Homo-oligomer: A and B are copies of this chain.
């Protein structure tokens, strides 16, 4: 399959999805991130790796939280950052997506961090840049529709590796609204790539997509069953708009069946860690006693996320385009 994220030497020139990403590249990203974690503790938290480079945050869908993490990562790499909330600008003037991209590339952009409500938009942009030989611009997917959120998947892997060291003896459960979650999809691909022997998803039928078994995943609709003996629990955010719809009876009902309480957490291994991509709905998918408890590693995820994004950005910026 054509994969525009690798150049002809098999190096990462764009980060679009974890699906199909070689294990060596995933590990290289995690190793690089490790060197950046220590930088954030220094008095001066900057390295000059992207000095003079122009990073454009192209957010076609609003996400202050994700945009902020990329903005910080860029600035700590000494890049110049331009924030563009595209929803409100050119596209409203009828310009096509690819004309906007060509225009920004012509300003000698070095990197586009792309968030888009449509699955595949960052792929389309990267392919267009490759096709038109605009190899100086690198694309990083910051979340596209229900498809992928690869930097979230990578920071989740960084977090698991930090606490569990070895992936090859783990049982990992992903809990909640898997159907609408790009995080779940990216996590499943990453866990599989890194050799996790058992990946489980837990959720109500209405929030589980088809085809999970074919991805090598064990499916549970009973949370108590699914949590038994797991090493890692990845909770997903339940989006507000689902709660009052046809898919779910109510937030209270959901919490009763799929909320992570201390009692349920006790079913997992005693040293199991609890993760969440944020923002949390306390009392909906997770109990405050768990969110603030000793097994939660939700805030370390955020810290590692900056380092992982710095790693991704510095790696793709260092790899030349397809023709080089």
Report the stretch among A4-12, A48-56, A218-226, A253-261 that lies at the interface.
Answer: A48-56
The reply to whether A108 and B45 form a contact with Cβ atoms under 8 Å apart is yes
- Closest B residue to A108 by beta carbon equals B40
From 96 to 140 in chain A, residues with beta carbon under 8 angstroms from any chain B beta carbon are 96, 99-100, 102-108
The reply to whether A80 and B72 form a contact with Cβ atoms under 8 Å apart is yes
The reply to whether B88 and A64 form a contact with Cβ atoms under 8 Å apart is yes
**Which B residues are CB-close (under 8 A) to A76?**
52, 54, 80
A49-91 toward B: CB 8 Å interface, digit per residue (1/0)? 0011110000000111100110110011000101011101110
* Any B CB within 8 A of the CB of A228: no
The reply to whether A82 and B93 form a contact with Cβ atoms under 8 Å apart is no
The reply to whether A72 and B45 form a contact with Cβ atoms under 8 Å apart is no
Task: Choose among A54, A106, A282 the residue with the greatest number of B CB atoms under 10 Å from its CB.
Answer: A106
Which of these, B45, B94, B103, contacts A52 with CB under 8 Å? B45
* Any B CB within 8 A of the CB of A46: yes
Which of these, B64, B95, B306, contacts A107 with CB under 8 Å? B306
For chain A, the count of residues having a C-beta within 8 Å of the partner chain is 54
Knowing A44-B51, A54-B45, A282-B96 touch, does A106 contact B72 (C-beta < 8 A)?
no
Knowing A42-B52, A45-B108 touch, does A302 contact B103 (C-beta < 8 A)?
yes
Which of these, B40, B42, B44, B52, contacts A43 with CB under 8 Å? B52
Knowing A44-B52, A299-B103 touch, does A108 contact B279 (C-beta < 8 A)?
no
The reply to whether A84 and B68 form a contact with Cβ atoms under 8 Å apart is yes
* Any B CB within 8 A of the CB of A206: no
Which of these, B42, B52, B93, B282, contacts A46 with CB under 8 Å? B52
Measured in the bound complex, the distance between the Cα atoms of B303 and A80 in whole Å is: 17
**Which B residues are CB-close (under 8 A) to A305?**
107
**Which B residues are CB-close (under 8 A) to A195?**
none
From 220 to 264 in chain A, residues with beta carbon under 8 angstroms from any chain B beta carbon are 240
The reply to whether A90 and B65 form a contact with Cβ atoms under 8 Å apart is yes
Interface residues of chain A, those whose CB is within 8 Å of chain B, are 40-46, 51-54, 62-65, 68-69, 71-72, 75-76, 80, 82, 84-86, 88-90, 93-96, 99-100, 102-108, 240, 278-282, 299-300, 302-303, 305-306
Chosen A-B contacts, 12 in total, with CB atoms closer than 8 Å, are A45-B52, A45-B54, A64-B86, A64-B88, A72-B80, A94-B240, A95-B279, A99-B280, A99-B282, A103-B279, A106-B300, A106-B302
